[in-house]
A and B are shown apart, each in its own frame.
Chain A
Amino acid sequence: VTPVPGHDEL
């Protein structure tokens, strides 16, 4: 699993 720094959270 690769990091997913999508920042789609609050």
Chain B
Amino acid sequence: MNIFRLAGDLFHLISIFILIHKMTTSKSCSGISFKSQALYLLVYVTRYLDLFWTFALYNSTMKIIFIGSSAYVLHLMTGPFKPTHDPNIDTFKVRYLIGGAAILALLFPYKWTPAEVLWTFSIWLESVAILPQLFMVQRTGAAETITTHYIFALGAYRALYIPNWIYRYLTSTFWDPLSIIAGVIQTVLYSDFFYIYYTKVLQGRKFELP
């Protein structure tokens, strides 16, 4: 554990808290992509299968929180707040993301075992799971401030993993190339968003695309 990873995980927790807070206080899931949320649940379920055979207090607790909160968000979006979700603006074709991640997972896992292939699938899928959400923001041309805070916190989480990987490489020669490549791609996908978030939202203006 190091400060970058801990900060990254905290940002991940914060992002989930912001999302659930936004939905329960406004009693609405408008502006949130159901498709991205469904992809995240798929990411956590396929990655954290090892809950069944490994236990570490910190990791196992976090894994359960991520799966549980993700399922709860989907429950809110399909149950109580379903009328506030507009599928007509959530139109990203996720089958290409799932298909691409599946192909990469089958071709280049660390080992050809079901658990390893699913782990690799989850790493690639996570790197692109935000795309339906970003696409939705782009289509509407603006986003609520709280939604932008959510997207920022979620992006910051994986961005902070990059210095964590550099630190681990330098201190213990830890090296997980799949995670690192996918994590860098994930952070690059956020970079446009980060820029607009920094230049607009943090200076007190509304998030609107130029």
Contacts and interface: CB of A to CB of B under 8 A. Distances in A.
- Whether A associates with B in a native complex is yes
Interface of A: 1-10
Nearest to B157: A10
A10 B173 contact: no
25 contacts: A1-B169, A1-B173, A1-B175, A2-B175, A3-B175, A3-B176, A4-B173, A4-B174, A4-B175, A5-B110, A5-B176, A5-B178, A6-B174, A6-B176, A7-B119, A8-B56, A8-B59, A9-B164, A9-B176, A9-B179, A10-B9, A10-B12, A10-B59, A10-B62, A10-B63
B47 to A, nearest CB: 8
Contacts of B9: 10
A5 to B, nearest CB: 4
Give the bracket for the number of chain B residues in contact with chain A.
20 to 34
Contacts of B204: none
Q: Which of A1, A2, A8, A10 lies at the interface centre, i.e. has the most chain B CB atoms within 10 A of its CB?
A: A10
Contacts of A6: 174, 176
Contacts of B56: 8
A6 B161 CA distance: 15
